[in-house]
Amino acid sequence: MWELILLENFFSFLYTELALLNASLRKTLMVLKKVGISISKMWELPQLIK
C-alpha cells in the first residue's frame, strides 16, 4: 500500500517541479522577447538615419 503513497508523492513533486519549470521558462521567453525587440529597434535606427 505504501508504494501507492510513494508514487502519489512522486507525481505531485514532479507536477510541482514542472509547474515551476514552466513558470521560469515563460519568464525566460519574455526576457528573450524583450531583448529581441530592443535589438530589432536598435537595428532599425541606423536605417532610419540613412
Distance CA 29, CA 37 (A): 12
Specify the pLDDT at position 46: 72
Specify the pLDDT at position 50: 62
Q: What is the pTM of this model?
A: 0.56
pLDDT in tens, 1-50: 788 889 999 999 999 999 999 999 999 999 999 999 898 888 887 777 66
Specify the pLDDT at position 12: 95
List b or e across 19-38, with b for residues whose CB sees 16 or more CB atoms inside 10 angstroms.
eeeeeeeeeeeeeeeeeeee
